Structure 1
Amino acid sequence: MTPNTPSPTPSTPADEAAGAPPAGRYQAIFALAGRSFFPVAFLARLPLAMLTVGALTLITEVSGSYALGGFAAGGVGIGSAVGAPLLGYLADRIGQRPILLSTAVLNPVAIGLFLLTAALLDPAGSPVWMLIAAFAMGASCPQVGPMARVRWMAMTARRPRGREMDTALSYEGTADELTFVLGPALVGLLAAAVAPWLPLALAAVLTATMVAAFAVHPTVEYVVPSSRRPGGGRPKTARGTKQQDRTSGSARPQWLLIMLPVLGMVAMGTFFGSTQTSLTAFAGSFGVASSAGLLYAVMGLSSAAAALSVAFWPERFGSAARWLLCAGAMTVLALLLFLPADIATMLVVLFVLGIPVGPTMVSIFGIGAIVAPRELMGTVMTLLASGVVTGTALGSSVAGRLADSGGYQHAFIVPAAAAGALLLLGLVAVRAAAVRRNA
């Protein structure tokens, strides 16, 4: 920790965090990071939630094709899948601040190029330039959520044993869910009330201002890039309790373990992307396709509240068990998407379906934090985030094709299948956790 590191809070709140009620644990992390961290980090991550659905809404509106809109959203997702791990690796190497400041400039430029290509798009012509601009928009998107998690891991690494890390990850899961509520909601409101290009323009403004503010926030000093670390032994895990490698030559099993939560995030992203696109087709059947983001936001509200509740769950109920339980609930509840024939019923289904979604995401990120090498924490966190976006691209594209060919009922097959994949991966996660405990 450098001399400029923000002063940790007095030890009393943190010292009592292990036995404190959840409200006390949240007070402890607010004191640890400083209250300004929360609004800055929240607003800075909002553009990421707006880009995919914003591209989907804009291109669907100007082209009249759900498939082309899904391809645009997919271009954003593929770009993020490629760019996010690279940005995370660079942040691990040279620090978060220069990477975030660079993307705060580059991403608004890419958004502007996408808006230009959308304005010039010929639905009967080739969409190649639009897809290139969508890719650039995704590749340059600042990875605020993963980098915020890395800051929490650094801030809590030397704290007394307690549940500060779990509480921080629960908060981050809630923040992600709320941004994915407000992002689609803003897209739906602005697109319906003003113009479909306005949400992306707002995303560019937020990136240029709030990402820059997040880049220079004092909490960035907690994260020491590898280029500034002294040489020494192998780093420990984020919890500082076990060596990353039990024996030499264990790098391959380590990365195989890391791929488990990454695949989980791909399945989660597939669920998100296909649900967004399917709901766009569902709302379009009632003549209100541009308001699909508002429908999707209902699921996000219940998901966010449920993610926040993870701090209340028993500590012995580990991340793998939570993943399995909540993914099972998602699989069952996703089947309800086939039932509604009106918007009011769909709102009820989406609210219920969102309840297991937030805890599933918190659990997957928790497993990722445990298995990630500390010197590559930013890389792994961005891999998890890019897994979500990759899955969103996949889900949007497949559901868009099914919506065009068979209607929204066919498109809802994709989120149901994605939930089933999460359940299967949860079974693997429980088995892997058992093997590690017995090793």
Structure 2
Amino acid sequence: MSTGSQPENTTPSAGPSVGPSSPDPEPGDAVPAESPSAPVRSRIQLTGSPGLAAEPRPSWSEILFGDFRRLQSVVGRWYLVLTLLVRLPSVVMPLSVMVYVAVASGSGSWGALCAAAIYLGHAVSTGITGLYAPWKYFQWGILVQTVLQVLTVLWLVQTLVARAHDPFGPWPWYLCLLVGAASPQLGIATRLRWPSILRHHRDQSLPALTMRHDAVMDALAMVLGALVAGVIAIMAGSLVGVMAGSGLLVISTAMLLLHPTAGLPVWGTALWVSSSKNLNRAERRRRRSRRIVRFLPVLGGGCLGLLWGSVQIGLVYFAASIDVVESIGAQFAALGLLSAISAVITAGFGIRRPWNLWILCAAASVLATMLMSVPSGPFSMLLVLAVIGAATGPTLVAVFGIVPIISPRRLTTGLSAITYVLIQVGMAAGLVLAAWLGNYGGYQTVALLPVMASTLLLATAFLFIDRRRRVALDMPASAHWAPGGDFSTSVGM
């Protein structure tokens, strides 16, 4: 990414160069390689030579859509839109089931348990996808899972309709778990496809950029999925939302399997790098310490899922107290909307030290979740959800942005997949724990769990910074600037 400045005593066609003796930047410090040296900068300021232009300030369009345009030049616009579409069913399905069961049974606990079972099933499905992803014919695995998902959704809908006539019995949470496990996680499928796309185009300078893009798509899917589920629940009923989620999954699967990138050979899905058998005790201890540091952002994703899951159940109990349970999806969209907007802006600025952003936004999340006990009406709750979304969106970008900085390139995709798994597990745990607390203390007790989850998120961030300073990491090549690349793309803000 050129800064727009040119060195002195060169012809107009000559560009900046980096000599072989230039030292590599430190892992935490981003120095644009094409920026002039300190003496040249001082001469620019003193002489004000018209031939040496100052660095142009990026426009808002470049900040908000720079990543999208750069990836569009590699893979095309429609594939980037597809990465958003394939994530919507994973949001629409659990929200629709939760609202339907909560209304039909008159118990938010049963709704939380059924939705948690779907999220837990999604985590299992992500693990299944990770197992057959390296397979040459992995598209068949996605197709088989989609067929099984349609069959299990039909079974679930039939059982839910039958149970609605006797709402006081046990609700089919086990079928919800089966539906979640049978649903192919197409968001992970697109994540696992990025290394193959970049390898096919011979462009390995964009791994962190693709992670930021996927994090933004996760945030956008949250708002659009919640909005779709809420609108369908209000206009046609939540049961229609369950079937709409299944139909959307079938469409997404067909589009993903028919896309030209589906034929690329799978590459870069390793989850573990085998170590040499001749390592001594100190080397094994250092290697174990590095693995712990690399796992902490993954754990942060789990804390973030715990926060979102507990907020959902808090919204259920709050909506039940004012008799607007059907609007849960539309209200949760307020959190997703601000989360998506803040994630897009954060990704556009390209944070070089995402761990600092993690600290700041986690602290803001603690303060924001404390406001959940304040609202007395739907409008004030929408404002609180918007504040929580504005704090958690950048956190999602930061957690995924840290992975390519501290991990070898061959591990980044696998670690991002594990992060997604823990987000799903965290959401399931948040739903169950919040519902259990709600049975004993009502909404005010449920409102404490988001505060605890955001506190854990902040504690994990502090622990990561402390361990990162103590442990020497083997920095990957993707974390260093290379001519023709962009250090901010590889490292972050």
TM-score with structure 2 setting the length:
0.75
Measured against aligned partners, the alpha-carbon deviations of 1:186-226 in whole angstroms (never above 9, x if no partner) come to 22221122122011101111111212211332233455258
Superposed, 1:6-405 pairs within 5 Å as 21-22=62-63, 23-94=65-136, 96-121=138-163, 122-127=166-171, 130-156=172-198, 158-159=202-203, 161=205, 164-222=206-264, 224-225=266-267, 252-253=288-289, 255-313=291-349, 315-316=351-352, 318-370=353-405, 379-405=414-440
Q: Give the secondary-structure state (helix, strand or coil) at the position aligned to 1:202.
A: helix
- Quote how far apart the aligned CAs of 1:301 are: 0.6
Measured against aligned partners, the alpha-carbon deviations of 1:244-297 in whole angstroms (never above 9, x if no partner) come to xx9678764454344322321221111111111111111111111110111111
Structure 1 counterpart of 2:467, one-letter code: A
Distance 1:116 1:251 in 2: 52
Preserved contact between residue 109 and residue 436 of structure 2 (Cα < 8 Å) = yes
Q: Give the secondary-structure state (helix, strand or coil) at the position aligned to 1:325.
A: helix
Task: State which drifts further: 205-214 or 101-110.
Answer: 101-110
Q: Give the secondary-structure state (helix, strand or coil) at the position aligned to 2:332.
A: helix
Structure 1 counterpart of 2:304, one-letter code: M
Aligned position for 2:453: 418
Distance 1:42 1:290 in 2: 25
Q: Give the secondary-structure state (helix, strand or coil) at the position aligned to 1:340.
A: coil
Structure 2 counterpart of 1:356, one-letter code: A
CA pair 383-322 structure 1, distance change in 2 beyond 3 A? same
For structure 1, the 5+ residue unaligned runs are: 1-16, 236-245
Preserved contact between residue 319 and residue 325 of structure 2 (Cα < 8 Å) = yes
Distance 2:265 2:404 in 1: 15
Measured against aligned partners, the alpha-carbon deviations of 1:74-129 in whole angstroms (never above 9, x if no partner) come to 111222222312211221344642332222222222222221221222433333xx
Structure 2 counterpart of 1:305, one-letter code: I
Preserved contact between residue 170 and residue 309 of structure 1 (Cα < 8 Å) = no
Structure 2 counterpart of 1:159, one-letter code: D
Structure 2 counterpart of 1:151, one-letter code: R
CA pair 307-124 structure 1, distance change in 2 beyond 3 A? same
Aligned position for 1:13: none
- Quote how far apart the aligned CAs of 1:315 are: 4.4
Q: Give the secondary-structure state (helix, strand or coil) at the position aligned to 1:139.
A: helix
CA pair 252-298 structure 1, distance change in 2 beyond 3 A? same
Preserved contact between residue 323 and residue 364 of structure 1 (Cα < 8 Å) = yes
For structure 2, the 5+ residue unaligned runs are: 1-31, 35-57, 275-281, 475-493
Q: Give the secondary-structure state (helix, strand or coil) at the position aligned to 1:356.
A: helix
Preserved contact between residue 91 and residue 225 of structure 1 (Cα < 8 Å) = no
Preserved contact between residue 66 and residue 348 of structure 2 (Cα < 8 Å) = no
Task: State which drifts further: 73-82 or 214-223.
Answer: 214-223
Task: State which drifts further: 195-204 or 318-327.
Answer: 318-327
Preserved contact between residue 95 and residue 223 of structure 1 (Cα < 8 Å) = no
- Quote how far apart the aligned CAs of 1:346 are: 1.4
Distance 1:24 1:125 in 2: 53
Preserved contact between residue 222 and residue 333 of structure 2 (Cα < 8 Å) = yes
Distance 2:440 2:294 in 1: 37
Aligned position for 2:53: none
Bigger share in helix:
1
CA pair 438-38 structure 1, distance change in 2 beyond 3 A? closer
Distance 2:294 2:154 in 1: 35
Preserved contact between residue 216 and residue 340 of structure 2 (Cα < 8 Å) = yes
Preserved contact between residue 62 and residue 118 of structure 1 (Cα < 8 Å) = no
Aligned position for 2:20: none
Distance 2:167 2:287 in 1: 48
- Quote how far apart the aligned CAs of 1:46 are: 0.6
Distance 2:118 2:290 in 1: 29
Distance 1:299 1:81 in 2: 22
Q: Which structure's CA Rg is the greater one?
A: 2
Q: Give the secondary-structure state (helix, strand or coil) at the position aligned to 2:133.
A: helix
Q: Give the secondary-structure state (helix, strand or coil) at the position aligned to 1:99.
A: helix
Structure 2 counterpart of 1:276, one-letter code: Q
* Percent identity over paired residues: 27
Preserved contact between residue 147 and residue 378 of structure 1 (Cα < 8 Å) = no
CA pair 321-99 structure 1, distance change in 2 beyond 3 A? farther
Preserved contact between residue 117 and residue 173 of structure 2 (Cα < 8 Å) = yes
CA pair 143-423 structure 1, distance change in 2 beyond 3 A? same
How much is the aligned-residue C-alpha RMSD, in angstroms? Answer: 2.9
- Quote how far apart the aligned CAs of 1:134 are: 0.6
CA pair 184-24 structure 1, distance change in 2 beyond 3 A? closer
CA pair 425-221 structure 1, distance change in 2 beyond 3 A? farther
TM-score with structure 1 setting the length:
0.83
Measured against aligned partners, the alpha-carbon deviations of 1:9-28 in whole angstroms (never above 9, x if no partner) come to xxxxxxxx998743444311
Structure 1 counterpart of 2:167, one-letter code: P
Distance 1:154 1:423 in 2: 34
- Quote how far apart the aligned CAs of 1:319 are: 2.4
Preserved contact between residue 362 and residue 455 of structure 2 (Cα < 8 Å) = yes
Measured against aligned partners, the alpha-carbon deviations of 1:215-247 in whole angstroms (never above 9, x if no partner) come to 3322334552589x9xxxx79xxxxxxxxxx96
Structure 2 counterpart of 1:110, one-letter code: T
Preserved contact between residue 268 and residue 410 of structure 2 (Cα < 8 Å) = yes
Preserved contact between residue 192 and residue 290 of structure 1 (Cα < 8 Å) = yes
Measured against aligned partners, the alpha-carbon deviations of 1:311-333 in whole angstroms (never above 9, x if no partner) come to 343543x2222211211111111
Distance 2:238 2:473 in 1: 55
CA pair 312-47 structure 1, distance change in 2 beyond 3 A? closer
Distance 2:405 2:217 in 1: 20
